[in-house]
Amino acid sequence: MTATQSFLQTKGVSDRVHPLSVEAYHALGEIGRVDENVELLRGIVVDKMSKSPLHSAIVRRLFQLLFSFIGEESDLILLKEDPLTLSDSEPEPDLAIVNAAEADNFHHHPTTAHLVVEVAVSSVEIDRLKASIYAEAGIPEFWLVRPAESEIDVFSQPKDGNYHQQRTLRSEDSLTCAVFPKFSIKAGELLRQSAEN
* CA gap 193, 74 in Å, rounded: 31
- CA 58 distance to own-chain centroid: 14
Q: Which CATH number fits domain 51-196: 3.40.50.2000, 3.90.1570.10, 3.30.70.1710, 1.10.287.3510?
A: 3.90.1570.10
pLDDT, one tens digit per residue, over 56-96 is 999 999 999 999 988 766 799 999 999 999 999 999 999 99
Where are the chain's structural domains? Answer: 51-196
The 10 Å Cβ neighbour count of residue 162 is 13
Alpha-helix runs per DSSP H in 20-169: 22-30, 53-70, 100-103, 124-136
Burial of 15 (0-12, 13-18, 19+ CB in 10 A): exposed
pLDDT, one tens digit per residue, over 7-56 is 778 888 777 878 899 999 999 999 999 988 999 999 999 999 889 999 99
pLDDT at 73: 61
- pLDDT-based confidence at 156, cuts 50/70/90? very high
pLDDT, one tens digit per residue, over 96-151 is 999 999 888 888 999 999 999 999 998 899 999 999 999 999 999 999 999 999 99
pLDDT at 37: 93
Number of H helices, E strands in the chain: 6, 10
